[in-house]
Amino acid sequence: MQQSRVARWSALTLLGVVTAWGIGFFFLALLSCRPIAKNWDYSLPGTCAAWGSKDPQVFFVSWVSHSATNMFLDVAVFILPAPFLKGLRLGGKSRKGLMALFCMGAV
């Protein structure tokens, strides 16, 4: 029963973190320029930061931070079920097949 609580708590926490990350980066990309129309029409007066910046250094930092956090969350989602696979009552081939299925999903 304790393992079930830990699994549920871990999954819901990771779900919340991934959701907040996705919403945060969505709004960061959408609201990177003021006015918003400057995202697709650079001739408008205004400023852009992060994703909307024409400066390669600023854009690169935004891209690296997005990529690094995305990779971290991908690895966390991949690793989350690993400790709980040991507790399953499955035969050797079934357990190995399930682990192979998870590994294929990581590719």
Element spanning 33, H or E? strand 33-34
- CA-CA distance, 13 to 40, in Å (whole number)? 36
Omega prior to 45 cis, within 30 of 0: no
pLDDT digits (tens, 9 = 90+) for 33-84: 999 999 888 899 999 988 888 889 999 999 999 999 999 999 898 888 877 7
The alpha carbon of 44 is separated from its chain's Cα centroid by a whole number of angstroms, namely: 33
Domains of the chain, residue spans: 2-80
The pTM of this model reads 0.78
